[in-house]
Chains A and B, each alone.
Chain A
Amino acid sequence: MPSLKQIRRRISSVKNTQQITRAMKMVAAAKLRRAQENMFQARPYSDQLRTVIRDLAARTDKESHPLLQVREPKHVGMVVVTSDRGLAGGFNNNVCKAAQKVINQEKEHAEDVRLIAIGRRGYDFFRKRDGEFIQHHIGLLNDLNFGTAVSIGSAVRKLYEVGFTEESGLDRVYLIYNEFKSAIEQRVVTEQLFPIIPELAGEEQYPTDFIYEPSERAVLDHVLPLYANVMLWRVLLESNAAEHSARMTAMESATNNAGDLIEKLTLQANKARQAAITNEILEVVTGAEALG
Chain B
Amino acid sequence: MAETFKLEITTPTGVAFKGDVTHVKAPGSEGSFGVLSNHTPFITPLQMGAIEVESPEGEKVFATSGGLADVRANQFLILAETAEALEKIDVDRAKAAKERAMQRLQDMGTREVEVERAQAALLRANNRLSLAGK
Contact = CB atoms under 8 A, between A and B. Distances in A.
A219 B43 contact: yes
Interface stretch (B7-15, B48-56, B94-102, B103-111): B7-15
Contact of A212 (B8, B43, B77): B43
A2 B107 CA distance: 70
Given A42-B12, A45-B10, A230-B12, 5 more contacts: A48-B77, A209-B40, A209-B41, A212-B43, A233-B12
A213 B79 contact: no
Interface in A30-89: 38, 41-42, 44-46, 48-49, 52, 56
A211 to B, nearest CB: 4
Contacts of B59: none
Interface residues of B, number: 21
B12 A211 contact: no
Interface residues on A, range: 20 to 34
B14 A211 contact: no
Contact of B68 (A42, A146, A226): A226
A211 B29 contact: no
Interface in B38-92: 40-45, 68, 70, 77, 79, 81
B101 to A, nearest CB: 14
A41 B79 CA distance: 13
B28 interface: yes
Interface in A181-239: 207, 209-214, 218-219, 222-223, 226, 230, 233
A233 B12 CA distance: 8
B112 interface: no
**Consensus secondary structure, chain A interface:** helix
A224 to B, nearest CB: 11
20 contacts: A41-B15, A42-B12, A44-B10, A45-B10, A45-B11, A45-B15, A45-B79, A48-B8, A48-B79, A49-B68, A52-B68, A146-B81, A210-B43, A211-B43, A214-B29, A214-B44, A218-B29, A222-B45, A230-B12, A233-B12
Contacts of B15: 41, 44-45
Nearest to B82: A146
A37 to B, nearest CB: 9
Nearest to A216: B43
A46 B77 CA distance: 12
Contacts of B40: 209, 211
B42 A213 contact: yes
B12 A146 contact: yes
Q: Pick from B12, B15, B79 the residue with the most CB of A within 10 Å.
A: B12
Given A52-B70, A52-B77, A41 B14 contact: yes
Nearest to B39: A211
B120 to A, nearest CB: 11
Contacts of A213: 28-30, 42-44
B10 A48 contact: yes
B55 to A, nearest CB: 19
A218 B42 contact: no
Contacts of B12: 42, 45-46, 146, 149, 230, 233
A211 B42 contact: yes
Given A45-B79, A48-B79, A210 B14 contact: no
Contacts of B70: 52
Contacts of A41: 13-15
Contacts of B77: 48, 52
Given A219-B45, A222-B68, A49 B29 contact: no
